């Protein structure tokens, strides 16, 4: 049976009707009409459905909506501020990181979480952060370049001695 659940998405509180075990992704797409998180595999294998839960990137395709509690959820739609793209989005465009685009929304979310945690991540930290994101087009090198560029846009260049 459906319950009324209150969730906070992109800075707004929403009351949604869902059973507690409904995957968060279904609520975001079907109840709130947010298409930023994509349905890819539905099995926590590809990362297309990535959203921020608090400051952490999470796959939402199997995450029960009731487990999110009061933590703020941010989807791709909520990353931009006052009509300005998030620096990660800017960098992905600048570096032409997308080929087919299937993986990109999830990659952007994972990259945003990474750059809050590590403003200037090393390659190992970046690769670990993208571990749950698949790119079937093999755009990984451009995606890594875009993340490096986003780090500069957000936090400035690292000073080399």
Task: Give least dist CB 58 to ligand FES, A.
Answer: 10
Using rule CB under 6 A, residue 59 touches ligand FES: yes
Task: Give least dist CB 38 to ligand FES, A.
Answer: 7
DSSP per-residue string spanning 105-129: HHHHHHHHHHHHH-SS--HHHHHHH
Q: Binding ligand FES by CB under 6 A: which of 7, 24, 47, 76? A: 47
What is the distance between the terminal CA atoms of the chain, rounded to a whole angstrom? 62
Closest to 19 (Cα-Cα) out of 53, 66, 62: 66
Q: Which is nearer to ligand FES, 6 or 148 (CB)?
A: 148
Adjacency order of strands within the sheet including 12-18 = 12-18, 3-9, 73-74, 50-53, 56-59
Burial 80-96 (b: 16+ CB within 10 A, else e): eeeeeebbbbbbbeebe
- Of 7-15, 81-89, 108-116, 134-142, the segment contacting ligand FES by CB under 6 A is 134-142
Using rule CB under 6 A, residue 118 touches ligand FES: no
Using rule CB under 6 A, residue 144 touches ligand FES: no
Q: Could you give the CA distance from residue 104 to residue 78 in angstroms, rounded to a whole number?
A: 15
Q: Which is nearer to ligand FES, 44 or 77 (CB)?
A: 44
Q: Binding ligand FES by CB under 6 A: which of 8, 14, 71, 99? A: 99
Q: Binding ligand FES by CB under 6 A: which of 54, 101, 119, 156? A: 101
Task: Give least dist CB 101 to ligand FES, A.
Answer: 6
Q: How many CA atoms lie within 13 A of 67 on its CB side?
A: 13
Cross-strand bridge partners of residue 51: 58
Which residues here bind ligand FES, judged by CB under 6 A?
A: 39-42, 44-49, 59, 61, 98-104, 135-137, 139
């Amino acid at each position: 049976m459906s319950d009324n659940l209150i969730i906070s998405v992109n800075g707004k509180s929403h009351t949604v009707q869902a059973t507690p075990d409904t995957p968060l992704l279904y609520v975001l797409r079907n109840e709130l009409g947010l298409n930023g998180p994509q349905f890819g595999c539905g099995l926590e294998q590809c990362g297309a459905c990535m959203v921020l839960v608090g400051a952490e990137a999470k796959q939402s395709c199997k995450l029960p909506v009731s487990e999110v509690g009061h933590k703020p959820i941010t989807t791709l739609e909520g990353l931009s501020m006052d009509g300005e793209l998030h620096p990660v989005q800017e960098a992905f465009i600048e570096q032409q990181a997308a080929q087919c685009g299937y993986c990109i929304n999830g990659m952007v979310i994972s990259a945003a979480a990474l750059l809050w945690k590590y403003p200037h991540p090393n390659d190992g930290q970046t690769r670990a952060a993208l571990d749950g994101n698949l790119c079937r087009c093999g755009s990984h090198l451009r995606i890594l370049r875009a993340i490096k560029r986003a780090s500069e846009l957000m936090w400035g260049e690292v000073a080399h001695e």
